[in-house]
Structure 1
Amino acid sequence: MTRPSPSLPGAVALTVLLAGCGGSAPPAEPVPAPTQVAAIDTPPPQFPIELACAGVGGQALLKVEVGPAGTPTRIDVVGSSGNDELDRLAQESVQGWKFRPATRAGEPVAQIIQVPVNFTPPAVRPDACFALDAGRQPAL
């Protein structure tokens, strides 16, 4: 029994498929995995002595856009501490923070994160509070 010879279109298709298997193109460079924003330098805000002495505290929740340079480009209060001055101080403090920016395909990109900034009054009343009580300017 003789075998039928393959049809010309089938032979061409088989040749094209087999040619793709050996591929002479260099392997593609792996794409770096994306990374998230990471805090580098985040000093706490100054807690006004008057508010600390009065026992006023709270947490300001901020929505922060960290730009490709690793610095905040926009800061919005999304959850108030309950005190306008503390909210303002939280924003001012975070404006000076430094971050390692997020990356996509190895390139820095902007990313939005939420940042809580806590203001916790001291458990023991600072000595400077007594000067405030007496109407004098406290020594810092």
Structure 2
Amino acid sequence: MNMRIALTLAATASVLAACGKSEPQAPAIAPTQVAAVQTPPPEYPIELACTGVGGKSVLTVVVGVEGAPTDVRLQASSGNAQLDESAQQRVREWKFKPATRNGQAVPTTIQVPVSFNPPQPRPDQCFVIEERLRRGG
């Protein structure tokens, strides 16, 4: 057999043998979920707290790839517009560790409940507010 033909056949056999095999793939990187990092509570207007007005606002929040909320919407109202607005304002300032897929940050939509529970025992400020309301001012 001619040396040239033998080399060609050997090369062809190598190529054909490699066709059925795939390159080893890098191990998949496990996905991660979004995680809250800084979540200071919203302001609870003292007048509402003292009069027993409370509730739970539920917000739909899109956490961007930088870990900051890119969209905050009211999904369910607390029953008080002032509390709902306070919740939305504060959550817009929160910081998160973004979710990842294959090692890359991805935007993620989450639900965030924000509860306003009247404080017990009542703060001393409540007595001052009640006195002012009783006097008509």
TM-score by length of 2: 0.80
What letter corresponds to residue 31 of structure 2 in structure 1? P
What letter corresponds to residue 108 of structure 2 in structure 1? Q
1:128 aligns with 2:125: yes
Report the secondary structure of 2:57's partner residue: strand
Sequence identity percentage: 53
Number of residues of Structure 1 aligned to a counterpart in Structure 2: 121
Q: CA RMSD in A?
A: 2.2
Report the secondary structure of 2:26's partner residue: coil
Report the secondary structure of 1:132's partner residue: helix
Which contiguous aligned blocks of 4+ residues in structure 1 show a shift greater than 6 angstroms?
none
Higher helix share: 2
Report the secondary structure of 1:122's partner residue: coil
Q: Distance in 2 between matches of 1:71 and 1:31?
A: 26
User: For residues 15-39 of structure 1, what are the alpha-carbon distances to aligned partners after superposition, in whole Å with 9 as ceiling and x for unaligned?
Assistant: 94x5456x584x2211211111100
Q: Tell me, which stretches of 5 or more residues in structure 2 are unaligned? A: 1-11
What letter corresponds to residue 89 of structure 1 in structure 2? S
Q: Give the match for residue 84 of structure 1.
A: 81
Q: Distance in 1 between matches of 2:128 and 2:44?
A: 17
Deviation for aligned residue 1:123: 2.0
TM-score by length of 1: 0.79
